[in-house]
Homo-oligomer: A and B are copies of this chain.
Amino acid sequence: MANVLRNSAKFGFSGVLSQLSIHSRHGRECVSPCFSLQQRNNSTSPKIKVDLDSSTGVAVLRMQSPPVNSLSLDFLTEFCINLEKLEMDRSCRGLIITSTLSKVFSAGLDIMEMYGKSPERCGEFWKAVQEMWLKLYGSNMVTMAAINGSSPAGGCLMSLGCDYRIMADNPRYSIGLNETQLGIVAPFWFKDTLVNTVGNRAAELSLELGLLYSAPDALKIGLVDQLVPEDQVLSTAQDTMSKWLAVPDHARQITKSMMRKPTIDKLLSNREADITNFVSFITKDSIQKSLRMYLEMLKSRKA
């Protein structure tokens, strides 16, 4: 951590990187607080693995894209295709999302999708981010995040899209919409989702300061619903799921829609403007310059 701050000072990033919380082991793993740099991987091996237990109607979706389950366009596309398949499969009533990686659930949006890309490509990427949230927040399935590692920014958004959040009781794991810390602004639908979950004042503090919460602090403000020992995150999600599935589906789905539809409709009716807004922001020279320096810093740490 101290090392990172020295590096970032060297790169002139002090403001932007002041709260970087990087959990590093053997210099290989790196959870950036907001954007993550995925090691390029040309293999076509799937980034996501889905197991549907037809006896229970519960699918477990495992994110397995090392090193940090960055949300790249490929990742998001694969994620959404899987989500859509499960949504259409009448034998599937519940979905648990978790990670196969040690220490990280998802590190959020992939920085490489935002650096040096054409506006068209940036827009395509942002549309995929929207799609991930729309599909999750409005899913007819019971959705649970089994958060077995850190989950900043886009990873936090994915968790917030679920019906219930169970996190590993490890104070070293953090979660939060920390975009502001990096000089980025969480868009209105990130904000709406957070307000719906933790209330207006906690969301205000959280977003203005770009706070990352340790697991215990996240529980305190209601950002997650439950903490359990790390090795029980998935099994607790499965136990909890069976309670949710005891509720009649139809009534639960209509109720969920009643709670969430206004928030979803707000994005649906502003979707293009939100994309335009993101693209014009991210393609600014000043932001691209910041991303470049950030990337170089991350690369130098890997070297």
Contact = CB atoms under 8 A, between A and B. Distances in A.
A303 interface: no
B199 A259 contact: no
A122 to B, nearest CB: 18
A164 B200 CA distance: 14
A197 B201 CA distance: 5
A149 interface: no
Given A188-B258, A204-B259, A251 B199 contact: no
Contacts of A195: 200
Interface stretch (A55-63, A76-84, A101-109, A176-184): A176-184
A255 interface: yes
Interface in A179-225: 179-186, 188, 191, 195-201, 203-205, 207-210, 222, 225
Interface stretch (A11-19, A24-32, A42-50, A113-121): A11-19
Given A209-B247, A247-B210, A191 B258 contact: yes
A106 to B, nearest CB: 22
A1 to B, nearest CB: 14
A166 to B, nearest CB: 13
* Identical subunits present: 3
20 contacts: A16-B248, A19-B246, A179-B251, A180-B248, A180-B251, A182-B251, A183-B248, A185-B254, A185-B255, A196-B200, A197-B200, A199-B200, A200-B259, A204-B259, A207-B255, A207-B258, A209-B243, A209-B244, A209-B252, A210-B247
A210 B195 CA distance: 22
A208 B260 CA distance: 11
B255 A180 contact: yes
A240 to B, nearest CB: 10
Nearest to A164: B205
B185 A251 contact: yes
A147 to B, nearest CB: 17
Mostly, the A contact residues are: helix
B208 A259 contact: yes
A248 B15 contact: yes
Given A15-B247, A204-B256, 10 more contacts: A15-B246, A180-B247, A181-B247, A182-B248, A185-B255, A196-B204, A197-B201, A199-B201, A208-B256, A210-B251
A242 to B, nearest CB: 11
Nearest 4 A/B pairs, CB to CB:
A183-B248, A180-B251, A185-B254, A204-B259
Interface of A: 15-16, 18-19, 163-164, 179-186, 188, 191, 195-201, 203-205, 207-210, 222, 225, 243-244, 246-248, 250-252, 254-256, 258-259
Contacts of A208: 163, 244, 247, 252, 255-256, 259
A120 to B, nearest CB: 25
Nearest to A191: B258
A201 B196 contact: yes
